[in-house]
Amino acid sequence: MDVLFLYLDIRIKKIKRNKKTMQKKESSSSSQATVVVIGENCKDKFIYGRCDRICPEAPVPVFKPTGDVTINDGMAGNVASNVRSLGFPCHHIKNPCSITKTRYIDYKTNQMITRVDESDYADKIVLEGINTPLIASADLVIVSDYNKGFLDEQSLEQIFALNPNCFLDTKKRLKTSWAYKARFIKINEPEFDITKDTMGKGLLKKTIVTKGENGCDYRNINYPAPGKLQTIDVSGAGDTFIAALAVKWLETKDIKKAIPFANECAHKVIQQRGVTTINLF
């Protein structure tokens, strides 16, 4: 009996050592990978308050700020924040931050009253110099194009030619002429309905269409959302999805494993107020 317990104790210690070694390898592989995010940056500002009555001068609610304010990096800045939160160092090629999106939110209902966008334009990217070798040598490139002027079609085509591992999320109408070298494309359902007629078969085969509570579609297969969850705020959920999708693909080289992981991450952040990043650690 003592021999049996000694054997079991040795086996348990060996399993624990192997588990620690695997965790160390996984951590090392993520820390050594080079991830580049390209796209417009902004500041997402949320001002919370109360709306208890309607204005007597016009049929609009009267908003009373309560002093609760959050400010986060938004758009591609939120993609980069999510990549870092998932354990990957990240370099963000971005515009000088002048864009600000300010949302006024009723705290009780989390209903947005209005949104004010300031300086809603970014100067065009400069690909020459340090940016070109940085993009070319990266293990993964995530292009988050909010169509504010930072990335035009020619710039996108150049980026995709520099690196074969480019994931694209864009507000532009997709065309084969400039997007065909992107490895995978993420787009939400309303945007897909607008642009699907300009996409060739090659683009359609590499496109993941997100559908909110209905999960997402890839190559005519639906990947369901992870159960019914309380949706508090969808702001930034698409940024979390593309970040999680891309880094999980980098780890596994299997998009069919990356999609459920991205679904899970996106559905975690929509349960929080404002723009938040995923934290699995």
Distance of CA 125 to the CA centre of its chain: 20
Pair of tokens at residue 126: 């400069």
Count CB neighbours of 14 within 10 A.
10
The confidence score (pLDDT) of residue 17 equals 45
User: What are the tens digits of pLDDT across the range 207-265?
Assistant: 999 998 899 999 999 999 887 766 554 566 889 999 999 999 999 999 999 999 999 99
The confidence score (pLDDT) of residue 281 equals 42
The CATH architecture that domain 34-269 belongs to is 3-Layer(aba) Sandwich (3.40)
Q: Cα separation of 31 and 42, whole Å?
A: 26
Contacts of 250 (CB under 8 A, 6+ apart): 33, 35, 88, 139, 140, 165
Distance of CA 99 to the CA centre of its chain: 18
List, in sequence order, every beta strand (DSSP E) within the chain.
35-39, 41-50, 64-75, 90-93, 100-106, 111-118, 140-145, 166-170, 184-188, 207-210, 216-218, 221-223
Q: What is the pTM of this model?
A: 0.84
242: enclosing H helix or E strand: helix 237-252
By CB atoms closer than 10 A (0-12, 13-18, 19+), residue 130 is: exposed
The confidence score (pLDDT) of residue 272 equals 66
pLDDT lower than 50: segments of the chain: 1-29, 233, 281
